[in-house]
Chain A
């Protein structure tokens, strides 16, 4: 994490830190991780004041907030204004999940004609208002901390709030899933089964769930730092995959993250040359 993270606004003068949760375009899964914290949520509620969390409470508070969690991607013009307002009202802004940090699975539409998608899904396209691209929150406002994952990991989320309560800035790891597999003694799915796995280029945080369940990682925590996507793509091609198939591996749940986007674009260019229909 960069060292220029500072607490933007003055803390509010309340006894308990005021925490708000907001949602943009998303499935609610990351907020649900907070609701699913159950007992921890009640305990946490003793240490903080949840002042805005539409999924959990009817109470609405206009701010200011000490810590704000934002779920979801920016996909309408209205959301750009909304997220700017949220930023202004927030001392410390955390984006949670793949949608908020890299545009989400709905960013699979990015770079294609919005009109085609609108017309495909909706009988009356004129009723629909959306931006061409689904983008991460950090494309629009300064973000103090990004917690990736689809969904975000509950442990990481609670630990981050606990760190902030203690006055420290959390630093989630950016090392690849492979490290987690080794720690847990999981058999490597690429080596043992010849299955494509994005673990070598995906940041840890999930607990290596997919290899633990006998399958390859599909990258839902986004790129590790720095990811060697070229070497991994070569390996997948050696396993017998076509470049276009490898491109689809990167162009998936976190496909709009710059490192994965570049990898997919590179592979698509190769595919256009090599896989052209005869």
Chain B
């Protein structure tokens, strides 16, 4: 019997640490495990006993790449429980901050994490040194617009300080935000060039018979608010999340996996899911960017199209940011005082890499008694393993080095953020 074992000891260019073990016996994959060895940090546990007002400062620390998603999922959920009426314009300003996070996260992923794969480089730095400097610089420039929006509204782009239950500690002035108009207009033009840059990148065709899941919202493309839906017709609300989705614990991972509670089947979250499920609210430039980046007729269930979906969503975030800024009146007052009450707070928002769910059980004095946080990457882990099992048999004849690169590409479609899934890839391939 021939035996081969391939190890990817550290999956590079993902946010966090993980490893992949593959065992191949007689040309068949007999074991495939995505190991998350990012050490557990126990956020849900040490949130217990803290005051609700501290939650927006604690939960962003789960992930430096999508802190805003953590903040707003908690804030919206707690405000719904407390029946807090936030000042007019707060929703739009929050959406604008969320746009900033999508822009920086998507442009980081497309240029620094994913593009080097398809051009055969180890990093964007190498890409820039070997002929792609204008493209890398353009990506970084667009990313900077997102970062700067976050800093203007939140005080800083990593772990913003102004979001709070009840509003913002300080709101940006109209003048501060209007200063972005010119840059956003330029960015909208340039993002179409990014679509043209992505379109010819050679990617494997990998159509999947998958169930994609995202929030849906008839009014605007979902970021902060909406209900849940899947490409196979499921629909549910954030309050029902734990009835529909179940977390399972496997020996090889510090991150929990998620499956549908009824079928025990995995599902796929993220930009590709969102764009498939929210065609009606896709904005004009986003639609054009999607087409030019290579997203064909929907439904399009090829995980390698995720990169195109990210470019389209970046266009959407620029368009939304422009719309919000042009109509912007600073919420007055910046925040209202909040009266806690006992009960259960639940909410979902769309983090750059997919739906994030929070639940807090709160005491009458505002103390957090129970906390549950389900990040997008851990929900996607089971589906990543399924993708690898479906994809790798087609490339088993390649060298371990090439196999590793393919495995990493399949995983990177999900832009996994392993710190929040709690970190990523070490490939170990055993070939027998």
Asked if residues A214 and B169 are in contact (CB atoms below 8 Å), the reply is yes
Asked if B57 is at the interface of the complex by the 8 Å CB criterion, the answer is: yes
Asked if A6 is at the interface of the complex by the 8 Å CB criterion, the answer is: no
Asked if residues B136 and A42 are in contact (CB atoms below 8 Å), the reply is yes
Contact partners of A123 in chain B: CB under 8 A: 247-249, 256
Q: State whether A57 and B13 are in contact (beta carbons under 8 Å apart), knowing that A27-B63, A45-B125, A248-B54 are contacts in the complex.
A: yes
Residues 103 to 133 of chain A near chain B (Cβ within 8 Å): 104-106, 108-109, 116-118, 120-124, 127-130
Pick the contact of B137 from A39, A57, A118 — CB < 8 Å? A39
Contact partners of A220 in chain B: CB under 8 A: 159
| Smallest CB gap from A74: residue in B | B39
| Interface residue tally for chain B (C-beta within 8 Å) | 73
Asked if A79 is at the interface of the complex by the 8 Å CB criterion, the answer is: yes
Alpha-carbon distance A159/B156, docked complex (angstroms):
19
| Smallest CB gap from A112: residue in B | B46
Asked if residues B57 and A253 are in contact (CB atoms below 8 Å), the reply is yes
Asked if residues A213 and B40 are in contact (CB atoms below 8 Å), the reply is no
Alpha-carbon distance A238/B91, docked complex (angstroms):
36
Asked if residues A248 and B50 are in contact (CB atoms below 8 Å), the reply is yes
Contact partners of B48 in chain A: CB under 8 A: 120
Pick the contact of A54 from B13, B40, B124, B161 — CB < 8 Å? B13
Asked if B423 is at the interface of the complex by the 8 Å CB criterion, the answer is: yes
Asked if residues A120 and B42 are in contact (CB atoms below 8 Å), the reply is yes
Give A201 Cβ to nearest chain B Cβ, in Å.
17
What 1/0 flags go to A241-260 for Cβ under 8 Å of B? 00001001000110000000
Asked if residues B112 and A213 are in contact (CB atoms below 8 Å), the reply is no
Contact partners of A122 in chain B: CB under 8 A: 40, 249, 256
Give B248 Cβ to nearest chain A Cβ, in Å.
8
Asked if residues A59 and B251 are in contact (CB atoms below 8 Å), the reply is no
Alpha-carbon distance A120/B41, docked complex (angstroms):
12
* A residues whose Cβ falls under 8 Å from a Cβ of B: 23-33, 35-36, 38-39, 41-42, 45, 50, 53-60, 75-76, 79, 104-106, 108-109, 116-118, 120-124, 127-130, 134, 150-151, 206, 209-210, 212-215, 218, 220, 245, 248, 252-253
Q: List 5 A-B contacts (CB under 8 A).
A: A45-B125, A120-B48, A123-B249, A210-B155, A213-B169
Q: Which 6 pairs, one residue from A and one from B, show the smallest C-beta to C-beta distance?
A: A29-B64, A57-B123, A214-B170, A215-B169, A106-B41, A117-B45
